[in-house]
Structure 1
Amino acid sequence: MLQSVPQTLVSLPVEQVGSPEAGPQISLLAGSVMLLMFDVDTRVWSAGRLEPACGPALAPLAALRLQREDGGTRLLFAFRRPAQMQTLSLFAGRVGQSVEVALDPVDDFSPTEPERLLAGLTPAAQVSLMTTFLETWPSIFRMRTSRRFVALLHRLVRASAPVEPPLVRAVARLDAATALIEGGLPMGCDAIGTLYCVSPDGMRRISGAPRYGAPGARGLRRFYLALETAGIGADTFIVLTGPNWFAVRRIEMPGDLASLTRWWRSLGKPDPVLREHAVALASSGAPAAQAAAVEMQLQCPLPPRALSGGPHLPSADIDLALATDRGMLVGGWLRDPLGMVTGIDLLAGDAALPLGAVQHTFSGIVGKGDDATAVTGFCALVAADVAVPMLQPRFGVALKSGERHVLVPPPQPVDVAERRSRALKAIPPQFLTGDAIARCLAPALAAIHGELMATQGAPRVVTLGTRLKAPRVSIVVPLYRVLDFLRVQVGAFAADGFVREACEIIYVLDSPEQADGLEHLLRGLHLLYDLPLVLVVMARNAGFAAASNAGAREARGDVVAQVNSDVIPTAAGWLSPLLAALEGEEFGAVGPKLLFDDGSLQHAGMYFAPGPRGQWLNHHFHKGMPRHYPPATVARNVPAVTGACLLMRRTLFEEVGGFTEDYVIGDYEDSDLCLKVRAKGFEVGYVPQAELYHLERRSMSVNADHARGAASAYNAWLHAQRWGDVMATLMTPDAALSASGQLEAECAA
């Protein structure tokens, strides 16, 4: 075991301290903290004791036993200055023998001399002394901010160091307050336990784990860390500590530090492991440092690398590598006709983390036409502590021969919405099994979607006309790109006397790049119909749930009516039967009959049923049947209603938290909301007396992520994780057939 670091230790003759017969020596550690030092000429095997001759024990009291090179022992005791004169008995390990020490607190005590502390100590004792002064005693006696103690510690560190201590250098600026530091580990040391920064004016423990480079030609390893530059001067030291060793380094801090990108470019042929270390350190810092990490990766991308083995040898490629706080989502393909590959690993520093632990495979084809080749696609989630964002992590294809081929993906997207879009394409929809979603896709997608939702800015609100002070209903209409039906919808609202007199209309734009054009259009419609309108512009695309919730937060009405932009009333008065159904306390949410543009049924309430793979899916009662199909003309309890047109009392909407926002893009939020309403003890009702057209999915058709089906499959899985047992209970034959007559009676009344 490594016992010491030779270049940091000193060897002073014990005569500089004085002979053991000189007796105990008392000095000052800090303003109110005393140090008693006593040298014994023999080895002391048990802890020494320091006790008052009378009165209460010293508290706090700390003791340290240090071995000297001449075989003797140095005993150190730290304690607070007593309020009055005391006689202390020092027991140094000899049975029945003690030394009496008279302590008068008014005496003028000299500062502790670090050279006297170090003189004649063995290397192991010097390590013990240094770690005690760095870690233990400053905490016990709260001396970290004591100027006297800090000055003593700085002198102790300087006395422990060689005349010319090795340097650690600031090599790049991470942000205005932080630099990237490079230094060398002592010979034979593999890792640092703790680092301290010690200057004449202060001491602090350096937070954050250092990163380590590969051993050099002489076996020495470099380390890298992020260091706050405040208070760093020419006389500042970095103290490295580890098991049974410590080392002292002096800091070199150039006045004009290079940016992270400029430093990286200056290295010529840089080590990719070092690149990962630098990115990791910067990514854990302030926003400016995180931006520097992204800038370096984008300005200095690594050349993408794939493995091409021709018709017989292995071929592989990685095209997806999204780092999240739940692990790295990895996607690619492999062709191994002769079975030479033992696995693919994520290379993180010195570690190789296998992809196989959480992996889903599927059949695929690369190339086109005559060049098309069958391959095995894969998606894996690697539980790795990887910097976010690490845009180009490295991977290794391990062969049975012992060879390893490195794969590097192209730079991964930085924008969180694009990252979510790429995650949704990780597995083709036809291969998205429940197991694949649960084990591979869901953890990473949830993390990315959560990051997207957390970065939402505040929406902008534009009011056109004079708003009603106390509207009965707030009609909330989310918009996403497709505005084709807006003129028709506003015209239908304007032609409805109840809407004009008792409702406010709130449009929520979830594609903010259209804000100017939409505002211009709405101003024209406002002038044309003399109809007040409210426009809420989201800061960025956030999805149906977030947009609908933003509109509801702006609402003033007693009832919130969530209405899709492609829903058009067939006639005026559509709100009256819906509001009548909400008058009682039985129903928490209601929805109308919705029709396709050809007059056939689109929605008469929703129910749940297992799909082809056993997953719970949402279905519409009587979809495609004629408009006046008799079962669809009956008001009744239903398991859920669609969010295309859904009414709730605003107080209940707020009580259940509105639409749940962790569904991706737009699917299953409506049934989730209905099930939350049911969990509060309310029923959900279908009201066929209200009829509207629903041009289904017209607003979704331009969203490629949804059209591919991945978002819908993920949302169905998430929905089932939360409500599977409830849906199973609702859809038992008895429950499904027990349609309530209460709603029908209320609507008839």
Structure 2
Amino acid sequence: MAPLETTATILSPGQADEPQAVLLGSGVILVSWDVPQAVHASAALSAAQGHSVAPAASLRLSRTDGGTRLLWATRCPESGPLHITLSTGALGSKTSLAIQPDTVIPVAGSDNLVQGLDEQACETLISTLLNVWSGLFRLRRDGMFIECLLGLMRQPASTSEAATIVARAVGDIVLLQAALPPRFGEIDAIYCVGRDGLRRLPGRPRRGPLGGGREMVHLLTSGKYLAGREAFVVFAGSEGLQVQSLAKSEPQPLPLTRWLREQTKRAPGLREHLLIGLSDHASFGKAAALEAQLSVPLKPQRVGANTSGLAAEITCAISTPAGTLLAGWLRDPLNLVAGIAAVVSDGTIHDLTSALHRYPIVVEGPNAGRVSGTGFATLAPSVGGDAPILQPRFRLLLKSGAFHPLVPTPQPADPAEARAVALRAVPPQHVNDKLLSEVLAPVIADLHAKTQTHIGQPHVRVIGTLIARPKASVVIPLYKVLDFLRFQIAAFATDPWFRKHAELIYVLDTPEQATEVDHLLTGLHLVYGLPMTLAIMDRNSGYARACNAGAAASRGEILALVNSDVIPTAPGWIEKLAERLDNRRRVGAVGPKLLFEDGSLQHAGMHFARDHRGRWLNHHYFKGMPRHYAPATEERFVPAVTGACLVMPRALFEKVGGFSDDYVIGDYEDSDLCLKIAAAGRKISYVPDVELYHLERKSMSLNPEYMKGIAWQYNCALHTSRWGDMIASVMNTYTRPGRPRSKAA
């Protein structure tokens, strides 16, 4: 074994020890040099004969005797001797060190590394090894380095409480619990050091008061990093380190659901934090978080009427990334209430009082009577971003400084069901523009977008033998109401042009009716011999998505979008409408005259007009007038036609992107499509000599979310914000309602 060769030149008082070289890890040399003086500048390391030393790192550590321990780490040379010069600065000590290729270098021992160091220096050494050198020299799985680290951990861990795995979630996810000393400061990272290596633990820690200035930390993380016969958990922060041994866990720790039931009542916000952490695990997290909440729901809490008459309840608390839609009511006859606050996931309290929208309502009073109260709604901060939090928590703040907890019943996990709750959150007569735009719209938009992402491809069934090359495709969405199908199909079947040139596509948007509809259409096919296609959506998706699915399945050059409650008065209707699609005059869409069942006018084209709140509303020309009302017999260009019967080239439908599917449930999609057609430079024509009956909104009336009114207001606001400027421009081309300047004929 060749010795280490050193040559020392001391340029300051005192005698420095000779430098020592040890192996920190495989292929990594650690040079240690104790000097008697305090060194305040960076210590230098240089190689002889112009050779570079890279990577290289240095560290200065204070000794208890007032001196300094200087450490340098570098890679072992691949060939030839390593000649390096060590220096404490321009006016300090300097020495040279030569390491020959055949030199046997001892392995670093943890006791020697920390011998003579003060407590702060020991923390600095461990922190540097964990945070910097382990990555710089790729030592996180190096057995030699890990053995040294474990030795360094044992002494500080012996003076602190052990970290414990207190619960197991799903897969390998466990809940780690540990106590931090007072004034620990911010946590920058949490590491686990075990026989199999050094790992930074994933997850976000949550801290809560423990008493005596100490804090309890909970971390939902991967249990595979916390296995082994000896392991330590290290909390690294700007104010220092906390090293704790990992207590040997029970073979089967408590299930997280049971732990939540028993423990989280004592820590506001901890439950939400853990559910958010669980949701972050992409493969199964959101499902596991939902299951935990459904298995262990919070007990709903309201303030029941007491001798003071005070009462309050949260009726809606839908949490989305856009925010939490909070709605409820209170009764406060003695003026005891100061406001409402939300409990957020970090345990802090967010006062919502100044942001509440209030409105008068009637609520249940004493002795089953009805009394006046105050409804309220606001957009509270999002509890968990995209995490599914079903029971956000709130507080009814009292002027005395006390509070009453308010916990809603579990909110729907399904986006469509949650959207339905949001659409009923506030009585529609109390929804003004500010409440709609600031509180309701962000949550409704987020939930509606989620309903669209949950929709898969429709199941398509062909009934009968389809014609080979249809000229026209008639797409008809179905929603609950099937009363008119017999009459509609009978009218189609007795139309020679329809039988020869059109394909019929029904899109069922209520898949729970699939068996009934399939049986009905099959029977009607046997009666009339009219082939048809049935596309069954995998869940309710709304008018636009259903029509787009039908259009995607179509084959004809002409696309006719027709409602299920529209019935032709005579054959040849689709042929006549298709003939009006004159490309030379750039006609992009046409619509017929539609009649109520009593023969009066339902539709003779559409136009737009502002209401008292400045919103653009859709209006039907001459609605309710007699069938042969003279102005309604004139073929002309119009701003729009209804989607109850709209005929256009399929290529143009695809070019403009079909129906926009961000309108809720079904309304304004038709005028939106017409405005997209106009924006593409095409005109829209009303054709009065084609007449069909339209039993208006018979199916829409069965949708309670729409008929409540908020959906309509949301769609109207969306339509106005998107097309307001263009609508104003379009309407300027008309001299007065119902009398456009330009004619289609």
Please say which of residues 562-571 and 339-348 is displaced more in the overlay. Answer: 339-348
1:501 partner letter: K
- TM-score when scaled to structure 2? 0.91
Q: Which amino acid aligns with 2:297?
A: P
TM-superposed CA distance for 1:200, in Å, is 1.7
Q: Deviation of residue 611 (structure 1)?
A: 1.7
- Give the deviation of 1:265 after TM superposition: 4.3
Counterpart for residue 377 of structure 1: 375
> CA offset at residue 96 of structure 1?
6.7
Aligned residues: 724
Contact kept, 8 Å, 2:735 with 2:741, in 1: the verdict is: no
- Looking at structure 2, the residues matched to 153 and 648 of structure 1 have their Cα atoms a distance apart, in angstroms, of 74
Q: For the residues of structure 1 that align with 2:191 and 2:150, how far apart are their CA atoms?
A: 11
Cα offsets for 1:122-158 (capped at 9, x unmatched): 3222232222222223343444454554454444434
Match of 2:332 among 331, 336, 352: 336
Q: Contact 2:484–2:564 (CA<8 Å) still a contact in 1?
A: yes
Given that residues 175 and 286 in structure 1 are in contact (C-alpha distance below 8 angstroms), is that contact kept between their aligned partners in structure 2?
Answer: no
Q: What is the SS of the residue equivalent to 2:169?
A: strand
Aligned to 1:282: 278
Q: Does 1:126 align with 2:122?
A: yes
Structure 1 residues 240, 488: closer, same or farther in 2, change over 3 A? same
1:548 aligns with 2:544: no
Is the aligned partner of 1:116 residue 2:112? yes
Aligned-pair CA distance for 1:448: 1.4
Q: Deviations over 1:391-450 (max 9, x none)?
A: 222211222221222222222222222211110111111111111111000111111112
Q: What are structure 1's unaligned runs of at least 5 residues?
A: 1-18, 745-749
1:642 matched to 2:636: no
In the TM superposition, 1:572-611 aligns within 5 A as 572-584=571-583, 586-611=586-611
Aligned partners of 2:609 and 2:618 also within 8 Å: yes
Does 1:55 pair with 2:54?
no
**SS, match of residue 571 in structure 1:** coil
Residue 224, structure 1, aligned to residue 218, structure 2: yes
Measure the CA separation in 2 of the matches of 1:659 and 1:145. Answer: 56
Q: What letter matches 1:226 in structure 2?
A: L
Deviates more, 1:543-552 or 1:100-109: 100-109
Q: Say which SS state the counterpart of residue 594 (structure 1) adopts.
A: strand
1:379 offset after TM fit, Å?
0.7
- CA separation of 1:548/1:236 partners in 2, compared to 1, >3 Å: closer, same or farther? farther
CA contact (8 A) 2:202 2:222 kept: no
SS of the residue corresponding to residue 230 of structure 2 reads coil
SS at match of 1:560: strand
Q: CA deviation at 1:346?
A: 0.6
Note the C-alpha offset of 1:739.
4.1
Q: Alpha carbons of 1:507 and 1:580: their partners in 2 closer, same or farther (altered >3 Å)?
A: same
Specify the code of the residue in structure 2 equivalent to 1:255: P
Equivalent runs, 1:287-298 vs 2, <5 Å: 288-298=284-294
Distance across 1 between alignment mates of 2:125 and 2:736: 77
Amino acid of the structure 2 residue aligned with 1:78: A
State the TM-score, normalizing by the size of structure 1.
0.90
Q: Work out the CA distance in 1 between the residues paired with 2:293 and 2:709.
A: 32
Q: How does 1:164-563 map to 2 (within 5 A)?
A: 166-189=161-184, 192-216=187-211, 218-231=212-225, 232-249=227-244, 250-265=246-261, 273-286=269-282, 288-308=284-304, 310=306, 312=308, 314-348=310-344, 349-367=346-364, 371-386=369-384, 388-563=387-562
Equivalent residues of 1:664, 1:715 under 8 A apart: yes
How far off is 1:584 after superposition? 0.3
Task: Assess if the C-alpha contact under 8 Å between 1:115 and 1:159 holds in 2.
Answer: no
Q: Is the Cα–Cα contact under 8 Å of residues 315 and 425 in structure 2 kept in the other structure?
A: no
2:744 alignment partner in structure 1 = 743
Alignment check: 8 A CA contact 2:331 2:374 kept: yes
Which residue of structure 1 lines up, in the alignment, with residue 725 of structure 2? 725
Residue identity matched to 1:658 = G
Q: Give the residue type in structure 1 aligned to 2:30.
A: L
Determine the C-alpha separation between the residues in 2 that align with 1:51 and 1:489: 92
Report Cα offsets for 1:706-746 as digits up to 9, x if no partner: 111111111111111211222222223658789474632xx
Moved more, 261-270 or 574-583: 261-270
| Deviation for aligned residue 1:230 | 2.0
Match among 61, 67, 70 for residue 72 of structure 1: 67
Change (3 A) 1:253 1:506: farther
Aligned-residue offset at 1:316: 2.0
Tell me how far apart the structure 2 counterparts of residues 151 and 656 of structure 1 sit (CA, whole Å). Answer: 66
In the alignment, residue 227 of structure 1 is paired with which amino acid? T
CA displacement at 1:202 relative to structure 2: 2.8
Cα drift, residue 287 of structure 1: 5.6
Match of 2:176, SS state, is strand
Once residues 102 and 675 of structure 2 are traced to their aligned partners in structure 1, the CA distance between those partners, rounded to angstroms, is: 76
Q: In structure 1, how many angstroms separate the alpha carbons of the residues matched to 2:316 and 2:25? A: 57
Q: Which amino acid aligns with 1:178?
A: I
Q: What amino acid maps onto 2:58 in structure 1?
A: A
The superposition leaves residues 679-729 of structure 1 with CA deviations (integer Å, 9 ceiling, x where unpaired) of 223233323233221111011111100111111111111111211222222
Cα pair 1:356 1:380 within 8 Å, conserved: no
Alpha-carbon distance in structure 2 between the residues aligned to 1:685 and 1:103: 92
C-alpha contact 1:234 1:251 (8 A) present in aligned 2: no
The one-letter code matched in structure 1 to 2:455 is Q
What is the letter of the counterpart of residue 373 of structure 1? V
The aligned counterpart of 1:676 is 676
Moved more, 593-602 or 226-235: 226-235
**Pair 1:90-2:91 in alignment:** no
Mapped partners of 2:497, 2:476: distance in 1: 17
Q: CA RMSD in A?
A: 2.7
CA contact under 8 A between 1:260 and 1:292: conserved in structure 2?
no
Is 603-612 or 507-516 further displaced after alignment?
603-612
- Flag the 1:338–1:401 CA change in 2: closer, same or farther, 3 A: same
Where 2:721 maps in the other structure, the secondary structure is: helix
Q: What SS is found at the alignment partner of 2:457?
A: coil
The CA distance in 2 between the partners of 1:475 and 1:22, in whole Å, is 94
Alpha-carbon spacing, 1:44–1:303, altered in 2? closer, same or farther (3 Å): same
Distance 1:254 1:460, change over 3 A: farther
**For 2:257 and 2:380, how far apart are their aligned partners in 1?**
28
SS at match of 2:728: helix
Task: State the secondary structure of the residue aligned to 1:213.
Answer: strand
Contact 1:52 1:89 in 2 (8 A): yes
Which structure 2 segments of 5+ residues have no match? 1-13
